[in-house]
Structure 1
Amino acid sequence: MTDLPTDQHPPRPVVVAGDANVDLVLRGDVVPRFGQAEQLADSGDLVLGGSASIAASGVARLGVPTTLVARVGADTFGTFTLDALRAAGVDVGAVEVADDEPTGLSVILSTPSDRAILTVPGTIPTLTGERVTRVLDGRGPGLLHVASYFLQPGLARDLPGVLARARAQGWTTSLDTNWDPAETWTGLADVLGELDLLLPNRNELRAIAGALGEPADLDDTELAARLARRGPRVVVKDGADGGWSVGADGVVVRAPGVPVDVVDTTGAGDSFDAGYLAAVACGVDDEQVRVRWATVAGSLSTLGSGGTGRQATRADLDRELAR
């Protein structure tokens, strides 16, 4: 087991940039039937949403100083989002509140094995790279993690320059693109060379690799290795099987998930990101242990509703790593 006491090894700070919104998670009989049919769902929860926000919450809960750079509206959902982030220990001083734009909203129709998401973007697409750079300037170097690339065209357009500047200042850079609603997967060729870490799931891995011209008949690990040779270590979420990572050398490092009775998979990938980023921030050098932090965090998050209902703590990690 690798356990790094924070009093002897202070973790590096993490700055997360991306989406901040609320999620309305519905479970049960959630497949819509039109024709004014009324259905009775089993449960509904209003929770913190947004890949960046869920990841930031997860990193903070693992004892790492965490700042979120995002935008919300001056409305009820914006207040809810900020309160939830503060409760998780996230520094929200870099979250802008827009007077004339609504906070984003996602409605998640969740089953134990899959989910559908309906999103009203609101303030989500309005974050800029200039804003992220201003937050980083003057801070000690740590980890910069960007999420929901395809939901934020302004940030995406600026991102190669933002990442290059951050790396020049000593920051470790990472990206979770999440799914592209337009399914074009464009713009990433200029981003990968400025990344230290790319954190897709298997479907996103294949979509990104295909958009970059990699052959579709290659297996997942070879595709990941080819992406890694473009710049970043590729850390892949593999559902119930846990996760794995590969560098430019093609060596695959795997870690299993934790067997759980799944309640809701919303945000599990973002909590996976949080576990991996926290391990890096805390100075964990063993790649297998880093991936294990990620798989434990991702697995445990499925025990609660929404992405932050049951995020891992350091005690959880210590217990699972000791097994």
Structure 2
Amino acid sequence: MFDLLVLGDANPDVVVGPVNQPLVFGQRERLVPSGSLCLGGSAAIMASGAARLGLKVAFAGRVGDDPAGSFVRSALEERGVDTSALVVDPDLPTPLTTVLTSGPDRAILTASGCLASTSSNDVPRALLRSVRHVHAASFYLMPGLAAGLAELFKEARNAKATTSLDTNDDPADRWERVVLDPVLRVTDYLLPNAAEAHALTGHPVLAEAAGILARRGPLVVVKNGADGALAHDGANLTTAPALAVDPVDTVGAGDSFDAGFVAAVLRRTGRARALAIAAACGSLSTRAAGGTAAQADWDLAVESAG
């Protein structure tokens, strides 16, 4: 029924900025040019991007029984994502995130709500076994889901699906391997950004960090902002440039990249072409505020990739 099942986080984002001066406490108020309320969460943005690229997408995760949860469900459904497996937590609220932008950088504040209560039990096994690809995001934000992810990926692969993981940041800055390494052994594509690749390995050279991660099991596909992207299989390195765009907001660019890469892989474009299409999707998504407003469709992504 579905090409892609996305597992992970979904929440409203309040994106404010650009912030061009230091934040000051003491009840001082500062004005910024813009603010927006939009769909957030790495997994939700990726699912939205994949649906925009023409994939049939289902989402599994958790929201609270509150207006924020209703907003998330409606936003996903409006973008063509099936939310039948989006669980409503009876006790905990929907996560909320505030993103402060400053040029190409941003600071992120998240109230985690029901993120930690999300687990592998929230993923319908019949759905898991029926899709072509399973993608998980925000590994370190969701310890309950992380603990069962290796078994979920193993079951998906036994049903002939491929798998991908975007760990995203670790707020605790520990980057522990004890739970991650078993997941990497059943992950086809690991999709970190450059900072995450460095943190996961402790290696200062990006290409070598990617190679180290690749030798743990997956093809490693690294997002490197304006410098484009690279892929490493443990022996061979492939690169692709970013598009020359004037970014309005980089929130969710990496998640749009993930969507582009998975969509290209499922269309069997080949590694180099998939990397170029993914880089185009990430770049194009920065043309508007929020993570989903400027996501590309398939024809635009292919044309922009050259």
Calculate the TM-score normalised by the size of structure 2. 0.95
1:28 lines up with 2:13 in the alignment? no
Q: Deviations over 1:191-229 (max 9, x none)?
A: 21111110001110011113xxxxx35x22122112112
Structure 2 gap segments, 5+ residues each: none
SS at match of 2:207: helix
Pick aligned residue for 1:144 from 121, 126, 134: 134
Q: Which amino acid aligns with 1:242?
A: G
SS at match of 2:230: strand
Matched residues in 2 for 1:227 and 1:28: separation? 34
SS at match of 1:93: strand
Matched residues in 1 for 2:11 and 2:219: separation? 29
Q: CA deviation at 1:41?
A: 1.4
1:224 lines up with 2:215 in the alignment? no
Q: Which amino acid aligns with 2:133?
A: L
Pick aligned residue for 2:247 from 236, 241, 262: 262
SS at match of 1:91: strand
The alignment's C-alpha RMSD in Å is: 1.6
SS at match of 1:92: strand
Q: Deviations over 1:58-88 (max 9, x none)?
A: 0000000011101111211111111111111
Matched residues in 1 for 2:23 and 2:73: separation? 31
CA contact (8 A) 1:163 1:194 kept: yes
Summarize the Cα distance change of 1:133–1:91 in structure 2 as closer, same or farther, 3 Å threshold: closer
Alignment of 1:112-191 (within 5 A): 112-132=103-123, 134=125, 136-139=127-130, 141-186=131-176, 187-191=179-183
Q: Which amino acid aligns with 1:121?
A: S
Query: 2:304 is matched with which residue?
Result: 320
SS at match of 1:46: strand
Aligned residues: 303
Query: 1:91 is matched with which residue?
Result: 82
CA contact (8 A) 1:12 1:282 kept: no
Q: CA deviation at 1:138?
A: 4.8
Q: Which amino acid aligns with 1:257?
A: A
Structure 1 gap segments, 5+ residues each: 1-10, 211-215
Query: 2:185 is matched with which residue?
Result: 193
Q: CA deviation at 1:92?
A: 0.9
Q: Percent identity?
A: 45
Matched residues in 1 for 2:282 and 2:186: separation? 26
Summarize the Cα distance change of 1:149–1:275 in structure 2 as closer, same or farther, 3 Å threshold: same
Query: 2:276 is matched with which residue?
Result: 292
Matched residues in 2 for 1:138 and 1:277: separation? 18
SS at match of 1:261: coil
